[in-house]
A = this chain, B = another copy of it.
C-alpha cells in the first residue's frame, strides 16, 4: 500500500536471513543504493537495524524488545504458563500454546519435551516461539478454526492452499470443513502426522470470557513415543488444563483447583458454538 514502508519492511525481512552490506541490501529488494541507504538509516534511528563495525547491517535490538514487550502483553501466555509447565512435567511431552492469526497459527509459548532429544524425538524446527504454521495442517489450528463462524471461516480460507505436507494432510476446504465439524462436536482436535509426518498432536481450545476460543493448547509427541491412542489417553488432562486456564483467564484468579476435578473429567464436552 505504501511503497516506502513496503520497501523498508522488505529490507528488514531480508536482514532476517543474515547481515548484509548496503549494496547487498539494495540488491535484495531491487532499489538504488541511495534509496536503501535512507531506508536503512531510518530503520537504524529506530533501532530496528544495527550497523556493525564492518559497515554491514543486521537486525537491531529494538526488534527484540518490541517482540518481548508484545509477548509480555499477551496475558493468556502469562496465565497459562504454569499450567503448560505442569502438563509437561507430568508426561514429558512437548506442550504448545498458540493463537490464530489469519489462516496461520502463531506459537506463543512452548515447553520442550523432557525426554532426551535424540534425532527421533525432535519435533522439527516448526514450533519455536514466534514461528507460524498453516492452521489447517495442525491440531492447534483446527481447534481454533472450528471456533470461527462460517463467514469468518470462509473469509479466512479464501485463497488458501492445502499443500500435501505429508500423506495425511487435508487437501481441500471441504475436507477441512468435515474435520472441523467433528472437532466442534468433540471439543478437541487431533493431528495424526498431518503436519510433520512423525509427530502426533492433540489440541484443545482455551476460551475467553465470551466463550470464544482465544488460544489453544496442544500436546505433541513423536509417533515413536506415543501413538494416537496413547496420546488420546492424555485428553482428560489436557481438557482439564484448558478449562483451568480458561477459568483463570476469564476472571476468577483461582489457581489450579484443576486437580480436584480432573478425575471426574472425561472426554465428553458440550459442543460450543
Contact = CB atoms under 8 A, between A and B. Distances in A.
A225 to B, nearest CB: 24
B2 A8 contact: yes
A39 interface: yes
Copy number in the complex reads 2
Given A4-B4, A63-B67, A71-B64, A9 B43 contact: yes
Given A2-B39, A46-B13, A272-B54, A64 B130 contact: yes
Contacts of A273: 54
27 contacts: A1-B38, A1-B45, A2-B4, A5-B5, A5-B8, A6-B46, A8-B8, A9-B42, A10-B46, A12-B66, A13-B46, A13-B62, A16-B66, A16-B73, A50-B102, A54-B272, A59-B66, A63-B66, A63-B130, A64-B71, A64-B106, A64-B129, A64-B131, A65-B131, A67-B67, A67-B130, A72-B128
Given A6-B42, A54-B273, A66 B1 contact: no
A1 B68 contact: no
Interface string A251-269: 0000000000000000000
Contacts of A178: none
Nearest to A104: B61
Contacts of A47: 101
A65 B181 CA distance: 31
A9 B64 contact: no
